[in-house]
Structures are given as C-alpha cells and as structure tokens.
Chain A
C-alpha cells in the first residue's frame, strides 16, 4: 500500500499554485515560477483541490498553446483548473470557446478599435487633467489609488458603456470582491449577482431610452432578438470589471515602479516623444504583469509539445507573468528598461481571448504616464515601500493604497 502511494504520489516535488512572491521583491514573479521555468517549458503544479494541471512557464510554449484551437477556456469542462469550486460562467464570453465566444465578442468590438480609441484620447486627457487639478488643489499627501488611479479608468469605461459614474462605490466594491482570491464562493457569487442585476436594470433602461453608448447597442440587439437580455447584462459586467480594475492597478503600480527607478521617471517626464511614452507603456505592462493568477485552460485533444504529451482533459495553467520574464524572449528580463522594445509581451494574454480593451488600456496609460509626472514633477512616496499594502490576494496584482506627496 505504502509503496503504491509513494510511487503514485511523487507530490513532494510538485509545487502548489498560486505561489508567493519573495519578501522585498514586490515587482518580481514568485521565485518558484522561475525555478520551474528553468526545469523545462512544462511541469506540474498542485491546486487547492489536489488536482495537478500542467504549468507552462516559457514564452514560446505559452503563445503556442494559448493560440491553439485544441485548447479551451470553457470553465464548465471537466479538467478546467478552476480557482475555486464554483464553475458557473457568469461573466460573459471570457470563459467561452469559439464560435460562441467570437459571435459575442464581435458584438462589442467596435468601440475598442484603434481608430475609435484614438478619437477618445482628448476626452481621456481632459479627465486626467481635471483629476490632477483636483489633487493639486486638495490635501497633500494623498492616496493616489483613491484620488487618481481608480477614477481615471472608471470614468472612461462608464462613459463608454453608459453606466452612471455616481454608482462607482457600488461597482468598485463588488468588483473587488469578485477578483479577490480570498473571497468565498458565496461572497463572489453574491457580488456577481448584484452586478448582473444592476447591469440588467441598466440594459432595461436603455431599451426604453437608448443613447450613444455600448449598453444601448447591446440593448438594441436584445430588442431585435439577437441576444438574450441576461447575456447582455453579463457582457456588461465583464466590460465594467475588466475596464477599470486592470488599468487602475497599472497606473498605481507603474507609478510606484517608476518612483523606484528615478532616472527612467525623469526620462518619461522630460520627453516630448510619443514613441518613448508608448514604449514605456509596453515595458511597464511586460515588467509588472498585473494579471498574476495565470491564464487557465483545458486540453480538448491530445497535444504534443516540447517533447511532452498533454492529454485531452488535462488542465493547463499559463502564467504570463513568468512568460514576460523569459530570457529566451527578453534579454535581461528582470530589469525595467523603458527604452527596450517590449511590444511582443503577453501582458494582454495571447490567442483569441487576447484583451479586447488593449487599445483603450494603452491609450489611457499613455495619457497618464505622459501627464502625471510632468504636472507633478516632485511626486514622491509619502512613507516607506515596506508599508505599502500589495494585492498578494487578488487575481489582479497591484497596491491597495499609494500615499504620495509632492
């Protein structure tokens, strides 16, 4: 018996996922991920439920598998490496496969094209300038997350969707519960339910009184019988959460990282070159990689890759944070260097689920990074780095608070 157990269960060497970051290295992925990457492109990890999905740590294999149609993002399939025991898909097409995924995604792609997001740039610049005016006129020091990092993307996505910004406490609190890794299933389901109900009510209002926003377009499809109303609400929930939490964390964590690299902050503050700003955004996306719970997938067929066979039904975890630090794809990967070419990073994922909002996120971050430090040239941390509360518990990484002075 014991023998069978020990030969069948070589678990001692299998690390648990998710892993911890090292003390004092808040910008680096967990060291165990780097160890696994050095062992080989595919290893195994153990999850909360005892299951042992593949861990894919190298850039090339991550891209190949995320783009492979034999790999599914459907959370309801057996073998999907779920973060908790809840397997319901209540947040739109991010957990669905083509062709249904593509059909729904295409319904909401129009406002996120390069042209449409460029047209929004002056409006975003206005939002950023107004918030900086308010900070300069208000108390000093201040929490940058509360006063700036969260309001910028929240105001933008509210405009775009047609959600009243006055409700921001409500949807920000519920989003937080949904993406916190420590929330119980009941807490997460409750928060999702409240947001879905809220969006459903808004879709209903837009059916009666349409305006120029994305929810009105979805409501029109509901009216035309192309889309169930519940699905429209779920897409609204996905866009609302994805649209503000991610960008907000990039603004605050990016500022903190730049404050630790003052010569790069100065270069960014003093440049007039939009190319340098755009390059800095790509490098910060690569280096910080905030969606740190790994892309999660399940194999639909046997797949041969890197000398291994992934069996149909095997779960896959692809942590793009370590892919973005793969020395095979980026030289000296643990160094932040806003002058490098980082455009091929996988911070927005890869494959057909690659971030829909990436043109918007890029533009928002370009406006923020090219404006904030120029208008607040003496911006500095009010307090010590050790005291900053990091979101180790969130499926989106960042800081809960960032006290700054100027």
Chain B
C-alpha cells in the first residue's frame, strides 16, 4: 500500500491522526497533515483505509504498487 497526502486540500481536522497515529501526524503551527510512513504494512492498513474514507477533504490517496 502506498499513501500520498495533499497538504493544499487538508483542513487539519485530525481524523487521520486519531485513527492511525503511526502513519499520520499534524504540523505544529497550522495542523496540516504530515505523512510519517508512506508504505504502511499490516496491521496498519485497515486503519489507514478508514482514515482515507473519513478524511473530510479527500486529502489522502491510497494506491497499491
């Protein structure tokens, strides 16, 4: 699984950090998403998929290499 994030779209609501803190973080000064792990392995993938689904700004993209 490959993850990319779009900082321009992100509205900093933090849903991804709540669901998968191993993979996502937020910048301290404006809350915008920071990708910690672009190729998360199991067992993290289910929560990454959930994060992409609930991200309100469609800022998280998943692909299978």
Interface residues of A (CB under 8 A from B): 66-67, 102, 105-107, 109-110, 112-115, 343-344, 348-356, 358-359, 362
A348 to B12 CA separation, bound complex (whole angstroms): 13
Q: B22-37 vs A: 1/0 string, CB under 8 Å?
A: 0001101111100000
| A-B contacts besides A113-B26, A343-B50, A359-B18, 16 pairs, CB < 8 Å | A67-B58, A102-B11, A106-B30, A110-B29, A112-B14, A112-B31, A113-B12, A114-B18, A115-B26, A348-B13, A349-B56, A350-B56, A352-B9, A356-B11, A358-B15, A359-B14
Interface residues of B (CB under 8 A from A): 9, 11-15, 17-19, 21, 25-26, 28-32, 50, 53-54, 56-58
A343 to B11 CA separation, bound complex (whole angstroms): 18
Contact B18 A351 (CB under 8 A): no
Cβ–Cβ < 8 Å partners of B14 in chain A: 112-114, 358-359
Q: Which of A343, A354, A355, A358 has the most CB of B within 10 A?
A: A354
- Tell which of A109, A114, A352 touches B56, judged by Cβ atoms closer than 8 Å: A352
Residue of A whose beta carbon sits closest to that of B21: A114
Contact A109 B54 (CB under 8 A): no
Q: Is the interface of B mostly helix, strand, loop or mixed?
A: loop
Residue of B whose beta carbon sits closest to that of A343: B54
In the complex, how many angstroms separate the beta carbon of A303 from the nearest chain B beta carbon?
Answer: 16
Contact B30 A110 (CB under 8 A): yes
Cβ–Cβ < 8 Å partners of B57 in chain A: 67, 351-352, 354
Residue of B whose beta carbon sits closest to that of A358: B13
14 contacts between A and B (CB under 8 A): A67-B58, A105-B11, A106-B12, A106-B30, A109-B31, A110-B30, A110-B31, A114-B14, A114-B26, A115-B26, A344-B50, A349-B56, A354-B57, A355-B13
Contact A354 B29 (CB under 8 A): no
Cβ–Cβ < 8 Å partners of B31 in chain A: 106, 109-110, 112-113
The 3 A-B residue pairs with the shortest CB-CB distance in the complex, in nearest-first order:
A109-B31, A354-B56, A109-B12
Cβ–Cβ < 8 Å partners of A113 in chain B: 12, 14, 17, 26, 28, 31
In the complex, how many angstroms separate the beta carbon of B27 from the nearest chain A beta carbon?
Answer: 8
- Tell which of A66, A102, A114 touches B17, judged by Cβ atoms closer than 8 Å: A114
A349 to B57 CA separation, bound complex (whole angstroms): 11
Cβ–Cβ < 8 Å partners of B32 in chain A: 106, 109
Contact B11 A352 (CB under 8 A): yes
A110 to B54 CA separation, bound complex (whole angstroms): 21
Cβ–Cβ < 8 Å partners of A352 in chain B: 9, 11, 56-57
In the complex, how many angstroms separate the beta carbon of A12 from the nearest chain B beta carbon?
Answer: 37
Q: Which of A67, A107, A113, A353 has the most CB of B within 10 A?
A: A113
Cβ–Cβ < 8 Å partners of B12 in chain A: 105-106, 109, 112-113, 356
In the complex, how many angstroms separate the beta carbon of A329 from the nearest chain B beta carbon?
Answer: 11
Residue of A whose beta carbon sits closest to that of B57: A352
In the complex, how many angstroms separate the beta carbon of A233 from the nearest chain B beta carbon?
Answer: 21
A329 to B18 CA separation, bound complex (whole angstroms): 21
A107 to B28 CA separation, bound complex (whole angstroms): 12
Cβ–Cβ < 8 Å partners of A349 in chain B: 56
Residue of A whose beta carbon sits closest to that of B58: A67
A78 to B17 CA separation, bound complex (whole angstroms): 38
Residue of A whose beta carbon sits closest to that of B59: A352
A180 to B58 CA separation, bound complex (whole angstroms): 33
Cβ–Cβ < 8 Å partners of B53 in chain A: 344
- Tell which of B17, B28, B56 touches A110, judged by Cβ atoms closer than 8 Å: B28
In the complex, how many angstroms separate the beta carbon of B22 from the nearest chain A beta carbon?
Answer: 13
Cβ–Cβ < 8 Å partners of B9 in chain A: 352
In the complex, how many angstroms separate the beta carbon of A394 from the nearest chain B beta carbon?
Answer: 24
Residue of A whose beta carbon sits closest to that of B16: A114
Cβ–Cβ < 8 Å partners of A355 in chain B: 13
Contact A354 B26 (CB under 8 A): no
Cβ–Cβ < 8 Å partners of B17 in chain A: 113-115
Cβ–Cβ < 8 Å partners of A348 in chain B: 13
Contact A344 B54 (CB under 8 A): yes
- Tell which of A66, A109, A114 touches B30, judged by Cβ atoms closer than 8 Å: A109
Residue of B whose beta carbon sits closest to that of A345: B54
Residue of B whose beta carbon sits closest to that of A355: B13
A106 to B26 CA separation, bound complex (whole angstroms): 12
Residue of A whose beta carbon sits closest to that of B30: A106
Cβ–Cβ < 8 Å partners of A354 in chain B: 11, 13, 56-57
Residue of B whose beta carbon sits closest to that of A354: B56
